[in-house]
Amino acid sequence: MNFKTTDNEYSGKNVLIIAEIGTSHSGDIVKARELVAAAAEAGADCVKTQIVYADEIIHPRTGLVPLPGGDIPLYDVFKKLERPFEFFAAVKEYAESRGLQFLATPFGPRSAVCLKKLSPVMVKIASPELNYTRLLRTVSGWDLPAILSSGVSTLADIETALSFFDRERVCLLHCVTAYPAPETDYNLTLIKTLSAIFGVSTGISDHSLNPCLVPLLSVSLGACAVEKHFCISRNDSGLDDPIALPAGAFAEMSAAIRRAENQTPQAIVEEAGNFTEKKEDIRIILGDGVKRLAASESQNYGRTNRSIHALRDIQAGEPLSSENCAVLRSEKILRAGMPPFMMEKITGCAAARFIPAGEGVRFEDFLPSSSPLSQKNTKKR
C-alpha cells in the first residue's frame, strides 16, 4: 500500500480501517483467531498486533504502571505475552485468509527481526517509539509503507521521525496518548495541519470511548486511516480491553465510515453530531489545529516515550555501553534519561557517578570521551 496525499472531491475516500487487537489475545492463538474473525466481520480492513519482548520495552524495575484495567506489573505481564515467530506467522496467515491485511508493531531489535521475517507489506511504529532512532533506521531500511503514530510528541519529534522515511509512503496518525482519551482533547484539525506541514497522508489513532464521534470527524478532515482498539468484550483481560471497541460497536463505526466516504465534509460533521448529546463539543473536538500536547497526555511526555536507561547498577568511572545501557520507556516510577539519539554519542564515556539500575542516564551522569577518566577506562577495555 502506498500512502499519498490526494485532493479528492470527498475527503474520506478509501479509508483504511485498522482493528488494533494488540495483546488482547493474551498469547492464546485460539483467542487471536477469534479476534481476527470478529474484526473481519466488523468491517476492518486490517488487524494490528504487537510483537512484545519485555526487555526491549521497559526495565524490570519499572514497577506498577497505571493502565485502563488498573495498576499493572507491566514488565511481568509483557514477559508472559512473549511469543515465538510461529505464533505471529499463524496470526498473519489467518488474517490474510479472512481477507485482512496484517500489521504489527515492533518495539526494538528483536521484535523487528521477527517482523521482518514475517514479510509484512507495511509496518507500524507506535507513539512511544516515535523517537527511537535506531528502530526507525532499521524499519525504514525495509522500504515498506509505514504508519507512524504521533501521540505525546512535538512537531520536532515528528519531523525527526519522518526524516527516516519516504514521505509518499507514510501515513501519520494523529493520536492522544491517554487511556481513555477525552474526545474534547483531540484537536482534530491537526489532521490537516500535520498533512500540510509534513507533506504526508494523515489519519487518526483513536483512544476515546465513543465509537463514531472522533472517527467520523477525522474522516471529514481527510483522514486516510482510522485505528481503534478492538476486543471481544471490555470485560476481558487484555491490557487495552477496557477502552477498546467490542465487535458490535466497531461494526457501527465501520458502517459510519463507509457511509461518510460518499458524503461531503459538512454532511459527515452533521452525522457526527448524532453521536453526542453536547453539540457544542463538536467545535471543541475539531479544535484550532495548533500542535500542542493534549492536557490528558502532557504529563506523559518524556516518560512513555523512549530514553536511555541503566540496565544494571553502573559504578562511577565505568564506561557506558550497550552492555549496561538501553533505550527503554521510563513510565511513571523510573526517572527519564537522555533521548535515544544520544546512545551512540555516550558510548565509551565514563560514568561520572553511580547510576542505579533502571534509572535514566542523564547528561550529568557521564563524562565526555575526551576527559582523562573516560580515556583511561577506554584503554582498559
pLDDT tens for the chain, 381 residues: list them: 456 544 434 344 589 999 999 999 999 999 999 999 999 999 999 999 999 999 999 999 999 998 888 899 999 999 999 999 999 999 999 999 999 999 999 999 999 999 999 999 999 999 999 999 999 999 999 999 999 999 999 999 999 999 999 999 999 999 999 999 999 999 999 999 999 999 999 999 999 999 999 999 999 999 999 999 999 999 999 999 999 999 999 999 999 999 999 999 999 999 999 999 998 999 999 999 999 999 999 988 988 999 999 999 999 999 999 999 999 999 989 999 999 999 999 999 999 999 999 999 999 998 765 554 444 444 444
What is the helix (H) or strand (E) element at residue 318, kind and residue range? none
Neighbouring residues of 291: CB distance < 8 A, sequence distance ≥ 6: 154, 155, 190, 193, 194
Contacts of 155 (CB under 8 A, 6+ apart): 197, 291
Nearest Cα to Cα of residue 176 among 269, 278, 87, 304:
304
| Residue 210, pLDDT score | 97
Q: Which residues contact 130 (CB under 8 A, 6 or more apart)?
A: 136, 148, 149, 150, 153, 157, 158, 161, 305
Separation of CA 99 from chain center: 24
- The pLDDT, as a whole number, for residue 370 is 52
Q: Which of helix, strand or coil describes residue 365? A: helix
* Nearest alpha carbon to residue 174 among 161, 159, 193: 193
Q: Alpha-carbon distance 290 to 239, whole Å?
A: 31
Vertex 258, ends 93 and 296: CA angle to 5°? 85
Cα dist from 236 to 25, 78, 197, 231, 232, whole Å: 10, 17, 40, 8, 7
User: Cβ atoms within 10 A of the Cβ of 40, count?
Assistant: 18
Distance, in Å, from the CA atom of 333 to the CA atom of 65, rounded to the nearest integer, reads 8
Neighbours of 137 (CB within 10 A): 10
- Taking residue 344's Cβ as centre, other Cβ atoms within 10 Å add up to 11
- The alpha-carbon radius of gyration of the chain (Å, integer) is 21
Residues pairing with 148 in the sheet: 125, 172
What torsion do the CA atoms of 111, 223, 96, 50 make, to the nearest 10 degrees? 20
Identify the structural domains of the chain with CATH numbers, from first to last: 16-298 (3.20.20.70), 304-380 (3.90.1210.10)
User: In which region does residue 331 sit, left (phi positive, over 0), alpha (psi from -120 to 50) or beta (all else)?
Assistant: left
pLDDT of residue 67: 87
How many residues would you count in the chain?
A: 381
For residue 224, give the nearest of 174, 182, 176 by alpha carbon.
Answer: 174
Q: Is 168 helix (H, G, I), strand (E, B) or coil?
A: helix
Query: Are 219 and 261 within 8 A, CB to CB?
Result: yes
Output phi, psi for 292, to 5 deg: -155, 160
- Tell me the three state secondary structure of residue 269: helix
Those residues whose C-beta lies under 8 Å from the C-beta of residue 142, and which sit 6 or more positions away, are: 116, 123
- Record the pTM: 0.93
